[in-house]
Amino acid sequence: MWEYTVTNEDNSNKFVYMWEQEFVNFGLAKAEGNVVKVYKDKFSYVTLSVGEKVSYAVWAGNELNVFLESGKARRYKNKFSWVNIM
């Protein structure tokens, strides 16, 4: 996972973790029940445990959009954090 630093309003710094470029470049995310397998090559992947049934997942630049069967959508900036987008 790679990171970059941003400066907050109070001039403190924080690290922002992003997907490793290998995952983004390979571009494959496979929905399987309540998980998404995110591949960095033909054999290696990380598993996102979503907790709800997943319809599909697609890359949008360096972020992964995960669409749930409930109609909700989440945007994963990395394998640890997400925000609801719908």
- pLDDT by residue (tens digit) across 58-71? 999 999 999 999 99
Residue 47 falls inside a structural domain = yes
Q: Cα-flanking dihedrals φ and ψ of residue 18, to 5°?
A: -120, 170
| CA–CA gap between residue 22 and residue 39 (Å, rounded) | 8
The predicted model scores a pTM of: 0.81
Is 75 domain-assigned?
yes
Tell me how many domains the chain contains: 1
- 76 contacts 31 by C-beta, under 8 angstroms: no
Residue 21 has pLDDT above 50, yes or no: yes
Residue span of the structural domain in which 64 resides: 21-84
Give the separation between CA 86 and CA 79, rounded to whole angstroms.
19
Q: Is position 5 within any domain?
A: no
pLDDT value at position 67?
98
- Give residue 44's region: left, alpha or beta (phi > 0; psi -120 to 50): beta
Q: How confident is the model at residue 30 (pLDDT cuts 50, 70, 90)?
A: very high
Q: Does residue 34 lie within any of the structural domains?
A: yes
